[in-house]
Copies of this chain bind each other. A is one copy, B any other.
Amino acid sequence: MQLRMQRLRNLLAGTWSEGQGDGATLLNPSTEEPLALATSDGLELAAGLAFARREGGAALRALTFADRGKLLGAMAKRIHEHRDELIELAMRNGGNTRSDAKFDIDGAMGTLAHYAEIAAGLGDVRVLADGDSIQLGRAPRLAGRHVFVPRRGVALLVNAFNFPAWGFGEKAACALLAGMPIVCKPAASTAIVAHRLVEVVADVLPPGAVSIASDLAHELPSLLQYGDVLSFTGSSRTASLLRALPSVVSSAVRLGVEADSLNSAILGPDVEQGGETYELFLSDVVREIRQKTGQKCTAVRRVFVPAALRERVRDDLVERLRDVVVGDPFAEGVQMGPVVSAAQRASVLEGACRLAEHATVLLGQSGVSPLGVPAGQGFFVPVTLLEAKDASAAVLHELEVFGPVATLFESPDDTDELVDLVARGGGGLVCSAYTDDRALATELVLGLAPHHGRVVLGSQKIAGQAVGPGAVMPHLLHGGPGRAGGGEELGGLRGLALYSQRTALQGDRALLDAIVKG
């Protein structure tokens, strides 16, 4: 086992080096075998940030948007070249099935490639126009023009453990294309993939454009200063701590957050059991519960079905989820791996118990017998399906259990009441609604959109080609209001806003046009 007790290398100030001390021990969550140590103790984090700001920032700003896009394309190519290795690392360190690992690695690659393509269309410009020229006075000569320019600092990318590759790819693509150098602070438990990914892509970028540090002490966020950006994906609790950082409270540092979300799937009362829309709903919900062992910020946590279909849905979900094969991803036939750590397993099991105080357990009570590992080993949890006894119980709408756990609700007949019930989640990333009734779809969109960053409408017309609600596409915004953190990632060029300053220019129209054209 060549990976055994490898010490993850940090890239700071253009130099790869190892931290001191033991740091965190990274495990294979299926076997609990130690794989590597993560630490940045003793390294000069502040100097690393300063180098990134100075060297990386200047190098990126000297490039046009089109040229930065070429860098993203080269990063995607590098990932492609190392795809098999990265997939295996994700299976080993993340407990991912091969399919889950591909989802993560290909997600990173696809996102970088998508932004490379967008960038090619932007041309050789160094400021990005936001809208057209605006006439300000009576004569056309005095004009206004909005532009995006890179912020003059470093973007600290704090990622969650569930997508060490894709999470990096999403944030990196937007920050680098916007023209900001990045410093990555991956979650410790799955850091092997993140560190290897940066090793793989680093040398296609200018020195200082990308850095990575284990930073178990969470020192990096407190070292940020005016001009810097902190882009965070993780728990609401940590997000609240970051919002209270002095540099954030003073507004010197700009913060973007993607946090908790109790995403919902809604089945319309018009849908016939067994029909195409019904099958789309069912396969989406099953996938969103099982995939990545439920460790997705976009996973379905709440399922709303009309009274008339409740029993049928319950039976169908139980039947499909009951047969999910849990075990070591390297074992033949395994469909769902473990969660990522002992702490996550404890949190999922405890969370499921808290939900069960207000819900009937339909599936999951009997525990789990993982395939391919000795009894008692690994951080496995059962697929758990609950049915709300009291639909208004706060915990069912507010506690995100980050595992393969979902709760079934009976939808109120009244659409407004249904929307109010879904909205008790207090803001989420995505909500999906399955219906062929266009009037209902419209009403649901108007009601649900204020509470979600994305609303997915499933119907017969797209049943054959639908992308599930859990897949985060670079074309569309990722983020959500309230509990979900209030951030906006991706969505094409919209995702560059966090890393850019939008500035209104005011003056002679010809001059402004020339500046925008570069």
Contact = CB atoms under 8 A, between A and B. Distances in A.
Interface residues of A, number: 84
Contacts of A462: 141-142, 507-508
Interface in A423-479: 423, 426-427, 438, 441-442, 445-446, 449-459, 461-462, 465-467, 469, 473, 475-477
A111 to B, nearest CB: 14
Contact of A151 (B454, B481, B501, B504): B481
A251 interface: yes
Interface in A356-386: none
What is the copy number of this chain in the assembly?
A: 2
Contacts of A461: 141, 508, 510-511
B506 A450 contact: no
Contacts of A491: 146, 504
A292 interface: no
Nearest to A487: B251
Among A427, A455, A458, the one with the most B-chain Cβ atoms within 10 Å of its Cβ is A455
A134 B476 contact: yes
B250 A134 contact: no
Contacts of A138: 465
Contacts of A475: 134, 136, 144
A326 interface: no
Given A459-B507, A501-B481, A467 B137 contact: yes
Contacts of A172: none
A307 interface: no
Given A457-B511, A476-B134, A249 B254 contact: no
Interface in A101-148: 126-127, 131, 134, 136-139, 141-142, 144, 146-147
Contacts of A240: 249-251
A488 B243 CA distance: 19
A330 interface: no
A482 interface: yes
A467 B151 contact: no
Contacts of A438: 511, 514
A349 interface: no
A381 to B, nearest CB: 28
A227 interface: yes
A445 B504 contact: no
A227 B420 CA distance: 12
Interface string A498-518: 000111111110111011000
Given A455-B503, A491-B146, A481 B449 contact: no
Contacts of A412: none
Contacts of A131: 492
B515 A445 contact: yes
A72 interface: no
Nearest to A441: B511
A301 interface: no
Contact of A507 (B150, B456, B492, B501): B456
Nearest to A445: B515
A486 interface: yes
A438 to B, nearest CB: 6
A505 B427 contact: no
A249 B242 CA distance: 9
Interface string A233-266: 0001001100110001111101001010000000
Given A146-B477, A476-B134, A501-B450, A486 B254 contact: yes
Contacts of A290: none
Contacts of A467: 136-137, 142, 506
Contacts of A469: 506
26 contacts: A127-B449, A134-B475, A134-B476, A141-B462, A142-B467, A147-B449, A149-B446, A150-B450, A152-B423, A152-B451, A227-B481, A243-B243, A251-B259, A254-B486, A442-B511, A442-B515, A449-B505, A455-B505, A455-B506, A457-B508, A457-B512, A459-B507, A461-B511, A477-B504, A488-B502, A491-B504
Given A142-B462, A251-B427, 4 more contacts: A441-B511, A450-B501, A461-B508, A462-B507
